[in-house]
Amino acid sequence: MKAAILTVGTEILFGEITNTNTVYLSRRLNDIGIDVMYHYTVGDNPQRLAEMIETSLRDCDIVITTGGLGPTQDDMTKEIACQVMGDHLVMHDDILEFIKNRMLSYKAVMTENNVKQALLPSRCRVFYNDAGTAPGFALARPWNGSESDTAEADRMQWIACLPGPPKEMTRMFERSAMPWLEELTEGCLFYKEIRTFGIGESDLETKLLPVINGQTDPTIATYAKDGECSVRVASKRKTREEAETAVCEMIKRVEEYVGEFIYSTEGEDYPSVVGNKLMSSNLTISAAESCTGGLFGAALTDIPGISSVFDRSLVTYSNQAKVDELGVRLETLEKYGAVSEQTALEMAEGVRQKAGTDIGISVTGIAGPDGGTDEKPVGLVYIGLSLGEKCGGRCLCRKIDRRLKDRQRNRRHAVLSMFDMIYRNI
């Protein structure tokens, strides 16, 4: 099945709210094997809304809308959906009773506007809203698309209308729309996400070309995001077991070509992978952060149970803090500077000794966008790693020289590199 996502609301076009619904729906539709072909946004204008629904249905099986189901006059999605799909609104008494009870629970006054929400297409499948008052629905019509090979008499096109508030939309989708969509789709889709670090998307795709070329099922797609790359391996078969077997076999082939860069084949992020590895190995860790300002520690503390192994992360931003808190020598700072291999190693050793942990990790660098020199450009980062006897008793340093002017990207990459360094050495 092919789908279009149509968000309704002038406030989205004005940039007053962030359109998170489209991102969520795209992911969930792909999860069940529905191909998302288009993203559209239209304001609260009946003519343009009707035109966009018709445009979407030229070559899509289903249009999913969000927004325009509320009680006010500018909420007109269901009226336009009826117009396009050849239906009319009728009062649904069960929905009206549901709304009355919901308003009572809110201790709110029931108005004529709220009664309007119980007017729904006569032949629709209703989706109850257990996070608000506006119901959603799905409505069908015979196929009227542009494809030349679609003469089947029983082929249908659908519109599914969901509320705009993300909390209401996601709950309605998961509890009502998702099961309905799974009834419509044939076969079972299964996929896994492989997470990699240390390789760019173009290089990753090049290395995987022997696997990608001529692919049918499973399919392989590469994506770049936040300083790392992922590979999505998906298969659609008659049963979940068949699809899962096909995906797992393909992952083995992917590992043959880029295994050195893979840190997860289960879609986990790097902090979770490293945190779980530390907990399962009972290895304690402490950190000293300069340019990242606590981002490493924040990423670790997002992991449930990490307190069993994570002791502390000290933000030692100034030279004096590095001396006072970590025991970095003044001679080291004066001779090599704060951004240097020598300082990074003393920071890592200092925090490990102070905390008494098995692992100490440090980061120091020039995040930018200013502050760099020819000798030490913006984007230069050093990561120190001090491993106690339980981990082999050694000290390592990694130099990163990306020369990016983007402060946040430099900081995010530095944090990922810290997790990568731990993962590769314990």
* Amino acid 208: pLDDT: 96
Side chain identity at 361, as an amino acid letter? I
Q: What are the start and end residues of each CATH 3.30.70.2860 domain in the chain?
A: 188-264
Query: CB–CB of 208/231 below 8 Å?
Result: yes
Containing H/E element for 396?
Answer: strand 394-401
Which range among 103-112, 143-152, 395-404 shows the weakest confidence by mean pLDDT? 143-152
- Phi and psi dihedrals of 384, rounded to 5? -105, 145
Q: How far is the C-alpha of 224 from the C-alpha of 53, rounded, in Å?
A: 32
Confidence label for 153 from pLDDT (cuts 50, 70 and 90): low
Helices (H), 162-317: 166-172, 178-184, 201-207, 209-212, 240-258, 270-281, 295-301
Side chain identity at 161, as an amino acid letter? C
Q: What are the start and end residues of each CATH 3.40.980.10 domain in the chain?
A: 2-184
- Which residue, 405, 362, 360, 361, is CA-closest to 380? 405
- Which residue, 255, 291, 248, 282, is CA-closest to 384? 291
For residue 279, CA distances in Å to 45, 309, 394 come to 55, 6, 21
Domain 188-264 coded CATH 3.30.70.2860: yes
* Amino acid 417: pLDDT: 98
Question: What pLDDT, in 10s, does the model give residues 274-322?
Answer: 999 999 999 999 999 999 999 999 999 999 999 999 999 999 999 999 9
Query: CB–CB of 277/423 below 8 Å?
Result: yes
Side chain identity at 90, as an amino acid letter? V
- Which residue, 306, 321, 318, 298, is CA-closest to 411? 298
- Which residue, 406, 403, 385, is CA-closest to 395? 385
In this structure, the strands spanning 35-42 and 2-8 are: parallel
Mean pLDDT of 66-76: 90
State the CB neighbour count (10 A cutoff) for residue 76.
19
Mean pLDDT of 78-105: 95
Question: What pLDDT, in 10s, does the model give residues 17-66?
Answer: 999 999 999 999 988 889 999 999 999 999 999 999 999 999 999 999 99
Q: What are the start and end residues of each CATH 3.90.950.20 domain in the chain?
A: 270-425
Question: What pLDDT, in 10s, does the model give residues 313-360?
Answer: 999 999 999 999 999 999 999 999 999 999 999 999 999 999 999 999
Report the CATH architecture of 2-184.
3-Layer(aba) Sandwich (3.40)
- Say whether 142 sits in a helix, a strand or coil: strand
Query: CB–CB of 40/4 below 8 Å?
Result: yes
Q: Which CATH number fits domain 270-425: 3.40.640.10, 3.90.950.20, 2.40.10.120, 3.40.50.300?
A: 3.90.950.20
Confidence label for 148 from pLDDT (cuts 50, 70 and 90): very low
Mean pLDDT of 126-138: 94
Residues 6+ apart with CB under 8 A from 363: 287, 288, 289, 290, 291, 292, 296, 344, 381, 382, 383, 384, 414, 415, 418
Which range among 186-200, 249-263, 408-422 shows the weakest confidence by mean pLDDT? 186-200
